[in-house]
Amino acid sequence: MFEKTVVDENYVRIPREKLFNFVVEIFKRLDVPEEDAKIVADNLIMADMRGIESHGVQRLKRYVDGIKVGAVNVHPNIKVVKESPVFAVLDGDEALGQVVGYKGMKMAIEKAKKVGVGIVGVRNSNHYGIAGYYSYMAAKEDLVGVSMTTSRPLVAHTGAMEKFMGTSPISVAAPVEGSRPFLLDMATSVVPSGKIEVYRRKNKPVPGDWAISTETGEIIHDPNEILSPKGTILPLGGLGEISGGHKGYGLGAIVDILAGILNGATWSKHVGGTSDKHSDVGHFFMAIDPGAFGDKEEFKKNMRKFMEELKNAKKHPKFERIWVHGEKGFLTYEAREKLGVPIYKKVLDEMNAIADELGVQKLP
């Protein structure tokens, strides 16, 4: 088994189905239509199932708060602003990001199936959960999927010393013959903020040079400081240009351009959080049909060869094995289908407090 049955004493395991129904109920009580509630629940729980706890149900409270303060519109009128056979631009009307995101990637997939390529840009949305949820939707349909989103400012670009850019993730997925898809899902910052939250919870310094002080510019390791206004995360590649920090900065800028500016959405430091009115988060979805560019089965076969070759390359003695992207997440998913999803007890308490308030049956 890929995963130990007991994570540690701070976690309880909840069966996937039970957790899913619980989250759906919460959103329904907040007047979210059932169909939409299921999309959001599926997105959040997929994050937990794949081991991306930072983007899972521990964020439930943020979404609930966003709806409660009226920053998130649960009855959006999602408008198609522009559309052609190959692309579309959607106005999310401040919906839950997952709801617009699901619709956007679905449209991109339909277009790709018809004309080989589909691109859908979104403006006026909210946090859409894990980027990989959408690219994976495409891969399940034997398409290459791309998903990007702007996000609220947490990162200092090269030469800067403030929370300015988002951790703006990029995800790409592609089908593989006889196997789980390739699935890259990465923040363009050196780490996503959720990874720092994990160290804050454990009350431990972060192990890498991931952040700087917004006052001195020095590298800092205290997760509390990093997540406060006194700290800011670095782009992929770190501080300065010596290890390519300007590249992570550039990748973040690409996301601001393609997911934000291109679609009439805002960018970097103007992007709001889930409880902000008009957070104006933008997304970019693309699907490409390998069957249009060439032979689909040949593509999938070559993807399998590529993945196998990567895994069978000459191994570094300090590493146990070589992974391909998505593999760890799928193995974690499969283990958690059997064992249940580990939920941090404090998160469970918070979720049950929400349930109490909304009249939903608490989790065990």
| Contact between 60 and 72 (Cβ < 8 Å) | no
CA distance 178 to 173: 15
Using rule CB under 8 A, residue 303 touches its own copies: yes
User: In this chain, which of 19, 96, 105, 119 binds its own copies, going by CB under 8 A?
Assistant: 119
Using rule CB under 8 A, residue 321 touches its own copies: yes
Long-range contacts at 249-252 (CB < 8 A, ≥ 24 apart): 249/157, 249/158, 249/165, 251/168, 251/170, 251/188, 252/155, 252/157, 252/165, 252/166, 252/167, 252/168, 252/188, 252/189
Q: Which is nearer to its own copies, 2 or 323 (CB)?
A: 323
**Min separation Cβ 107 and its own copies, Å:** 14
Mark 122-161 with x for binding to its own copies (rule: CB under 8 A) and - for no binding: ----------------------x-----------xxxxxx
Kindly state the greatest CA–CA separation across the chain.
56
Alpha carbon 110 to its chain's center? 22
Using rule CB under 8 A, residue 240 touches its own copies: yes
**Min separation Cβ 330 and its own copies, Å:** 15
**Min separation Cβ 363 and its own copies, Å:** 32
Helix (H) or strand (E) holding 43: helix 34-49
**Min separation Cβ 253 and its own copies, Å:** 7
CA distance 154 to 201: 19
Locate 264 and state its tokens.
């009439």
Q: Which is nearer to its own copies, 11 or 306 (CB)?
A: 306
Which residues in the 248-277 window bind its own copies by CB under 8 A? 248-251, 253-254, 256-258, 261-264, 267-269
Crossing angle of helices 345-358 and 60-68, in 10° steps, is 30
Which residues in the 2-61 window bind its own copies by CB under 8 A? none
CA distance 140 to 173: 9
User: In this chain, which of 9, 35, 178, 317 binds its own copies, going by CB under 8 A?
Assistant: 317
Using rule CB under 8 A, residue 194 touches its own copies: no
Using rule CB under 8 A, residue 293 touches its own copies: yes
Using rule CB under 8 A, residue 325 touches its own copies: yes
**Min separation Cβ 61 and its own copies, Å:** 28
Which residues in the 210-239 window bind its own copies by CB under 8 A? 210, 212, 214, 216-217, 236-238
Pick from 62, 261, 226: nearest CA to 155: 226
